[in-house]
Amino acid sequence: MGYSISCLPDRIVLMPPKSPNSQYDFIFNGGQPKKQRFNLSGLSGPVKIIIAAVILMVVIIILGVSLGGKKNKSTDSFTTVLEQAQEINRINALEASQINDPDTLAVLTTSTSTLTSQQTQIKAALDHQKIKINVKALAAYQNTATDAMLQTAAQNNNLQSAYLTYLRDALNVYNNSLQTAFSSTSSLELKAALQTAYKSNGTLLSAYPLKQ
């Protein structure tokens, strides 16, 4: 006895075969294998202590690197401030006996006393904050190119003008460094010392014969 097409069912439904191994059932179910969660409750007490200690060490190292970088940046900015003030005073000491113009000599003398006072205040604030400066680097800092430039100017009878140009430019650079150091610290004492120095330099720059 034959079968006609009309006797066949309208749809043929394919059923997935049963897997002999249940670990592959997710392939037929179209899902993902269940992930096993890491559970500390199954670990022994000593193992938990070791894991906690390792995590704590990693956190301490990360914080140390972060805070150390910020501290170094802050220390560098203060070192730069002290180096520049020290260098201006060094040049002033060299040129004091070479300058004859009263107005220029007055600016030289005033800038020396002003910068010396600033250095004292900034160093005191740094000591209070327990921020150490590289004393050797500070003592070794010199810009010999300035010495050569002023020596050439003296030979050409142009020392007064060259010195005033140097001092004006040096004070402006110094003021920029003061601003950088101001932004790098959260200490109110240091900020006050830096702000005072900045204002004093502004007074110097606005006075004759430095004022342009």
Give pTM, 2 decimals. Answer: 0.67
Cα 31 to Cα 46: distance, rounded to the nearest angstrom: 38
Answer whether residue 159 is part of any domain: yes
Distance CA 161, CA 116 (A): 24
6 found inside a domain: no
Domain annotation covers residue 164 = yes
In a domain, 18, yes or no: no
Q: What is the CATH number of the domain that holds 123?
A: 1.20.1260
Query: Which tokens hold the place of 6?
Result: 């009309």
Question: Which residues does 137 contact at the CB level (< 8 Å), separation at least 6?
Answer: 79, 83
* Residue 83 falls inside a structural domain: yes
**pLDDT bracket for residue 8 (50, 70, 90):** very low
Q: How many domains does the chain have?
A: 1
Q: Could you tell me if residue 5 is inside a domain? A: no
Tokens of 200: 């004093």
pLDDT higher than threshold 60 for residue 128: yes
| pLDDT, greater one: 209 or 71 | 209
| E strands present in the chain | none
CA dihedral in degrees (166, 171, 174, 178; nearest 10)? Answer: 180
Asked whether residue 42 is assigned to any structural domain, the reply reads: no
Domain that holds residue 107: 73-205
Per the model's pLDDT, the better-predicted residue between 182 and 140 turns out to be 182
Does residue 211 belong to any structural domain of this protein?
no
> Rounded to an integer, what distance in angstroms lies between the CA atom of residue 105 and that of residue 99?
6
pLDDT digits (tens, 9 = 90+) for 180-198: 999 999 999 999 999 999 9
- 97-123 pLDDT tens trace: 999 999 999 999 999 999 999 999 999
